[in-house]
A and B are shown apart, each in its own frame.
Chain A
Amino acid sequence: MDDAVAIKRCQAGERDAFRFLVERYQAEAVGHAFAILTNREDALDAVQEAFLDAYHTLGRFDTSRQFYPWFYTILRNRCFKLVRRRKNAGLSLDDVSILAPVSEIPAEDRLALERALLELSSAEREIVTLKHLDGLSYEEIAERLEIPKGTVMSRLFNARKHLREKLALRKVHR
């Protein structure tokens, strides 16, 4: 079954078809929510709520579009609502991990980068991870964030600059 078939079946009221979509995209969605929220429980809550929102609005979904970019806009709305509502009080950075261990990179460098990423704002971390970890083009990022391509460029530039500053600070204090 592909997404378009599953969506049409959902629109006809088949709940099992929605299960297909949830199971297909849940891992990606939690990864994206986690990069914004840096908290596993919050990320799971946001993804769950976003899937419920998606289910209730699937009736209006245009099946010529791709599911995940549409779902992503719902998910990020949920995530930023949580960002506004909750503060990561008492969050231990040792529990947070966005990056997978890669054998070619020294663990120390990965940890420094991970911590620098966590010090960025949610929006900056989101755009940097969409570009570098998901390999999205500016056009795709613009679609996901619902902003013009020029804004993607300037936001990405500022996010990278801040990341470089955070990394430089870490090296100074090491």
Chain B
Amino acid sequence: MTDINCESILIADMALRDGEESPLGRQEIETHLRNCERCRLEIESLRTVDELLSSQQRLRQEPNIWPLVSARLEASAGGAPPFSWRVVLLFGIPLFGYKALLLILQAAPSLWSKLIPMILVIAVFGYLKANPFKINSELTLRGESS
């Protein structure tokens, strides 16, 4: 028995029927089908569905989109620029953070002495882009192949 499973046989057969490059050759497929009744039945029923589908055509729609698209383009050309959340987030979050920090520090001035070292440490780590205390779990032993 080969290590080819039934699903890969069915997919390869489908690709061949569709006139596409198949991951398996016709010979391999036929050898498997000779010994696998389940696949033979499966392929037969899938072929019936394919035949039914292949004789169909898409229902042609006849819309007229242009007047709507044109009106929207006119409106967007003359009107205000579209609202962008990105701009709000870009300016809003730093401003909110700054204001919140000021309020916290006014309420508890002693926080300055704790916050400044923390900010300095974060800035240094950000600059180095690596945490010097991080344990390197990807170390390999000498002589060990990767």
A interface vs B, CB < 8 Å?
Answer: 15, 18-19, 22-23, 26-27, 29-31, 34-35, 40, 43-44, 47-48, 51-52, 55, 97-100, 102, 104-105, 109-110, 113, 128-129, 131-134, 137-138, 150, 153-154, 156-157, 160-161, 163-164, 167-168
Contact = CB atoms under 8 A, between A and B. Distances in A.
A153 B61 contact: no
B66 interface: yes
A128 B11 CA distance: 15
Interface residues of B, number: 34
7 contacts: A31-B60, A34-B61, A99-B57, A110-B56, A131-B18, A132-B56, A137-B20
Majority-rule SS of B interface residues = helix
Interface of B: 7, 10-11, 14-15, 18, 20, 23, 45-46, 48-50, 52-66, 68-70, 72-73, 76
Contacts, number: 111
A132 B53 contact: yes
A98 B61 CA distance: 9
B66 A26 contact: yes
B49 A157 contact: no
Task: Return the 3 tightest CB-CB contacts between A and B, nearest first.
Answer: A133-B58, A132-B53, A30-B61
Nearest to B64: A26
Contacts of A31: 58-61
A137 to B, nearest CB: 7
B57 A100 contact: yes
A153 B14 contact: yes
Contact of A51 (B49, B54, B62, B65): B65
Given A133-B56, A160-B46, A27 B66 contact: no
A27 B60 contact: yes
Majority-rule SS of A interface residues = helix
Nearest to B59: A100
Given A131-B18, A132-B53, A160-B46, A48 B68 contact: yes
A74 to B, nearest CB: 13
B10 A157 contact: yes
A26 B58 contact: no
Contacts of B63: 26-27, 30, 44, 47
Nearest to A135: B54
B41 to A, nearest CB: 12
